[in-house]
Amino acid sequence: MTTPISRRTSLQTLSLAVGSILTQPINGLGASEPAPKKLGIALVGLGNYATNQLAPALQETQNCYLAGIVTGSPEKAKVWSSKYAIPAKNIYNYQTFDQIRNNPDIDIIYVVLPNFLHAEYTIRAAQAGKHVICEKPMAMNANEARQMITACEKAGVQLSVGYRLYFEPHHLEMRRLVAEKAFGQVKVIESALGFTVPGPDSWRLDKKIGGGGAIMDLGIYANRAHGERSIWTRSV
């Protein structure tokens, strides 16, 4: 019997991966030593995805937790502080964002903003000395992506793109089957994905804010599901 897959279970898998990467064991410690500290994540941008997916999932993760938020809405700050017991010192707005460098509670900054803001806040997070998870698509263009990578390398922090299918067990199994040619040489793969945009004014439909539109935002799922090739793939 297969296990139903949701963003929540995928995020739990992601938390394990993030924890294993960023929390390294100290040589010589025995089994009786205390477990590594849970990594504190600050969500930047409290839209639908952060509100309805990330924040609830972070209540169930093993290696990380919701430590702080960054929002331009005082009302949202009040609601989130009450709901998730976030202390005032871990709540920032976009003007005070850079002060997050002085907060030891926050280890990772998760950028959940519209696409055109990914580069700016990833770079600023790196300059604050924090590891970064940036929602996909990573950037508006290749030049922005290079700047983000360079900033994180210069700061000595790690950068991850929130593309959950790299951790989702069914996709990992499919990649294994193809790589091992369990069913012979793959000739054609057809992939499709869709969802209802919340309205004609959605930022996802604005090229200046959302970048490449639906192909960049959702087409990436069908595209990368089988090795970062086009939606129709034919072996050469």
Query: Shortest CA distance to 151 belongs to which of 163, 138, 164?
Result: 138
From 136, 163, 166, 208, active-site residue: 136
Measured between alpha carbons, how far is residue 153 from residues 123, 125, 127, 198, 227 in Å? 10, 12, 10, 37, 26
Q: Enumerate the β-bridge partners of residue 106.
A: none
Q: Which of the residues 92, 110, 121, 221 is marked catalytic?
A: 221
Asked if 136 is an active-site residue, the reply is yes
What is the spatial distance between Cα 223 and Cα 218, in angstroms, rounded to a whole number? Answer: 9
| Length of the chain, in residues | 236
Contact 43, 133 (CB under 8 A): no
Q: How many CB atoms lie within 10 A of CB 19?
A: 16
Residue 165's closest CA among 2, 14, 3, 21?
Answer: 14
Q: Token match 């924040």: residue?
A: 55
Alpha helices of 112-168 — where are they, by DSSP H? 118-127, 142-155
Instruction: State the catalytic residues.
Output: 136, 221
